[in-house]
Structure 1
Amino acid sequence: MPQPTLFVEVHVLQSLPPSNANRDDSGTPKQALYGGARRARVSSQAWKRATRTEFAKAVEPADRATRTKRIASLLAERLTRPAAEGGAGLETAQADRLTAALLEPLGITKSSKKEEQSAYLLFFGKRQLDEIVKLLNGRAAELAALPDGELKAQVAKLPVVATLTKGHPAEVALFGRMVADLPSLNVDAAVQVAHALSTHAVRTEFDYYTAVDDENTEDHGAGMIGTIEFNSSTLYRYAVLGVHQLRDNLTSAEAARETTVRFVDAFTRSMPTGHMNSFAHRTLPHLVLLTLRTDQPVNLVSAYEEPVAGAAGLAAESAVRLADELRSVAETWGAEPARTLAAYSIEADKVTEVFGPSVTFPELLDSLGELVGKWLAEGRIAKADA
């Protein structure tokens, strides 16, 4: 019998003023051709990074995840800490040698080089490194003194790889991990994030700027000149979280419920920081729509296949288009969400008719937590009260 599934979809409409939040290799704001029109685009990678950063603000440093090529350096540093601080009290050379042996099953080695790095970025929890140190059971100095062959044989008995396959922090459980050379370390992501697209056509503009040399009193010329490309846009942002996958990754229903709510909060509030100091483009959304589905996710970007061309602002028309698309998908495909929650500041009858009355964002998160908790406990989502 198929296992029940629950998808929490986050649809966001958000306007950015002149900005260059996510640029390509030439410095141009990222764009995409959609519906025959050039659109502003913010890549899914950029917004996932921003979401992870926002999510981590509410996590204790020791419980956070990190994505790095420097796992060997981090583990060796722990081995040099005093035992009272959770380390092994080894000298640097001993720690480097033991680290190399411990990480050999991962295809990662650390020599005496100052900045030895692995060939790939590894996403893991900081507490998972602490668990690897605990595997040594106070024998770190003894093991580090063994000849190479004996050290390798002894370390091979320790479940280092298995330690990295359990106890995942929420960030790894949400965004997953891919290690092509060691599939046993892979973690299926519970979250998918779409590239954000403007609901309308955009045109790139150029900011010509000058900088004055404060100490130059000899002439009135600029000390530096340059240009920054930018655009402004109303973006449709979309992400979907599989609660069932998140529960499996975390192995705790309560942790899955809490992480779901925190993810929606972080994704909604997050903002890529490209050229942030130049444009101060951090805004909050016009509309946050949550749709809970038990069959499959549905990205509603088709609402904007024909670009919005508002003469007096774009947000209200974009919200009406989104409402029309949600209703159209439900009527055409029979794909009506199990529940719909929305927080918005747009006054439009169609929006209220389709999404229901607006609630405050904190109320939206509270309602989401209750619904997800009920599904995790009972495997079903009750219909909204008439």
Structure 2
Amino acid sequence: MSRFIQLHLLTSYPPSNLNRDDTGRPKTALVGDANRLRISSQSLKRAWRTSEVFEAAVGNNLGTRTKQMGKQVYEKLCAGGLPEKVARDWAKEIAKQFGKLKSDKKVENNTDLEIEQLAHFSPDEQEAIAALIATLIERKGSLTEEETKTALQLLSYPRRAVDIAMFGRMLADNPQFNMEAAVQVAHAITVHRAAVEDDFFSAVDDLNQSSNTGAGHIGEHGYGAGLFYLYLCIDHALLKSNLGDDDGLTARALEGLVCAVTQVSPTGMQNSFASRSRASYVLAEKGDQQPRSLAQAFLKPIKPWGEEGMLDMAVKALETRNQNIDAVYGACADARYLLNVETPVGNLAELVQFVTTA
């Protein structure tokens, strides 16, 4: 088994605002003394792990990331007939097993049941919580001290949660249940200079058309367009270990990731821009060698020249960088697979097979 799987992707997005900063404008980065559009790894991972494509491959082997599990427990206990105070006390006890409860406690909107930080609950942990809720309803909230101590041992080392196995989790108060991420995801950046532009828009009030201006609302959105380079490094051995050495689940996890990475776009402002795209180019590599990004291929911004298009030039720059690194350091992979929509070369099914048989 090859330890590392690396994916290099080029994906072109039309005018869009896929990942916003605190002002609502597309995120950017200064790379090679040129401003680039950027999509954060957090945005990408969120889009992938919550996508139907990913779920289709891994089924119910997914966790839930939330601060509000205590609220959900409270509502279920109340619905099961427990008095409000008893339900609230139990909900707090259950929630704080996964993190500190919020300090600004407000009973009226149930924020006293929320934990401070997002916690990623594995399927096993969610099942354990559900079983405890059923027991509490059956026993009308009454457990002995010893039963309570045992029942509240809800945390477990996740072995069935593919998203946790891939992207990790941290529980500050219970580090023994942390999991190291097996998939490293870079921020995607445009391979060329890119500017954030402003879209001024207006909306008509359908019930007030007497105005000469015709505008019931005016506003402004930032947007940008570009060809993005994205790099992922998968520690195949760690992923398999995180999933309890389950070969079948590991293969399905890799299939789901490849399908999502190549086909799923971040969800930011899709209704306004419909900027859904699939990867135009994918270079997959596997081997035991030390991984490396090929982002240096784009330190000098790509600039189309003559009849040669942006994608062709980006592919050439990426492959040249790859060959040069191999020439200097030795082969950085034992095997490679290429998918190129423009040529066309390769297909998704073969790409999945290449990665899952690593």
TM-score range relative to shorter protein: 0.7 to 0.9
1:246 CA drift (Å): 0.9
**In 2 relative to 1, CA 214–344 (structure 1 residues): closer, same or farther, beyond 3 Å?**
same
- 1:230-249 to 2 correspondence within 5 Å? 230-249=223-242
| 8 A contact 1:9–1:239 mirrored in 2 | yes
In terms of mean alpha carbon deviation, does 235-244 or 357-366 score higher? 357-366
The equivalent of 1:74 in structure 2 is: 72
* Other-structure match for 1:35: 32
Indicate the residue corresponding to 2:284 in structure 1: 290
How do 1:320-359 and structure 2 match up within 5 A? Answer: 320-347=316-343, 358-359=345-346
User: Which of 27-36 and 108-117 deviates more?
Assistant: 108-117
What is the aligned partner in structure 2 of residue 188 from structure 1? 180
Q: Which amino acid is 1:37 matched to?
A: A
Unaligned ranges ≥5, structure 1:
82-88, 348-356, 373-386
- Residue identity matched to 2:188: A
Note the 1:346-385 alignment, pairs <5 A. 346-347=342-343, 358-369=345-356, 371-372=357-358
Give deviations 1:264-289, integer Å, cap 9, x for gaps. Answer: 11122121122211111111121111
Distance in 2, Cα, partners of 1:12 & 1:172: 23
**Per-residue deviation, 1:308:** 0.5
Which segments of 5 or more consecutive residues in structure 2 lack a partner in the other structure?
none
RMSD: 2.6
The within-5 A match list for 1:133-212 is 133-134=130-131, 138=135, 141-142=138-139, 144-146=141-143, 151=145, 153-158=146-151, 160-161=153-154, 163-212=155-204
Kindly tell me: are residues 51 and 160 of structure 1, through their superposed partners in 2, closer, same or farther at Cα, counting changes over 3 Å? same
- Note the alpha carbon deviations across 1:248-268, whole angstroms, 9 max, x for none: 111112211221121111122
Which one-letter code corresponds to 1:192 in the other structure?
Q
Distance 1:12 1:122, change over 3 A: same
Task: Give the counterpart letter for 1:297 in structure 2.
Answer: P
Cα pair 2:229 2:295 within 8 Å, conserved:
yes
Instruction: Report the secondary structure of 1:327's partner residue.
Output: helix
Aligned residue pairs, count: 347
Q: Contact (CA 8 Å) 2:95, 2:114: kept in 1 or not? A: no
Which position in structure 1 is the counterpart of 2:16?
19
Cα shift readout 1:128-173 (whole Å, capped 9, x = no counterpart): 2212444689476448225xxx54x532234624x43234311111
Seq. identity, %: 30
| Residues 29, 229 of structure 1: 8 Å contact kept | yes
Task: Name 1:91's counterpart in structure 2.
Answer: 82
C-alpha change, 1:59 and 1:69, in structure 2 (3 Å) is farther
> CA 1:80–1:168 in 2, change beyond 3 Å: closer, same or farther?
farther
User: Within 2, Cα distance between the matches of 1:366 and 1:57?
Assistant: 18
**Which of 293, 297, 319 is the matching residue for 1:303?**
297
Q: Distance in 1 between matches of 2:249 and 2:236?
A: 11
Contact 1:76 1:92 in 2 (8 A): no
Alignment partners' CA distance in 1, 2:96 and 2:35? 48
Superposition map of 1:54-73 within 5 A: 54=51, 56-58=54-56, 63-73=61-71
Give yes or no for contact 1:128–1:167 (8 Å, CA) kept in 2: no
1:63 positional shift: 4.1
1: distance between equivalents of 2:321 and 2:81? 62
What is residue 314 of structure 1 aligned with on the other side? Answer: 310
Higher mean alpha-carbon deviation, 219-228 vs 313-322, is at 219-228
In 1, distance between residues paired with 2:196 and 2:184? 28
**Shift in alpha-carbon separation, 1:120–1:227, aligned structure 2, 3 A:** same
Q: State the alpha-carbon separation in 1 of the partners of residues 99 and 353 from structure 2.
A: 44
Q: Distance in 2 between matches of 1:97 and 1:299?
A: 50
Deviation at 1:367, TM superposition (A): 3.0
Map of 1:378 onto structure 2: none
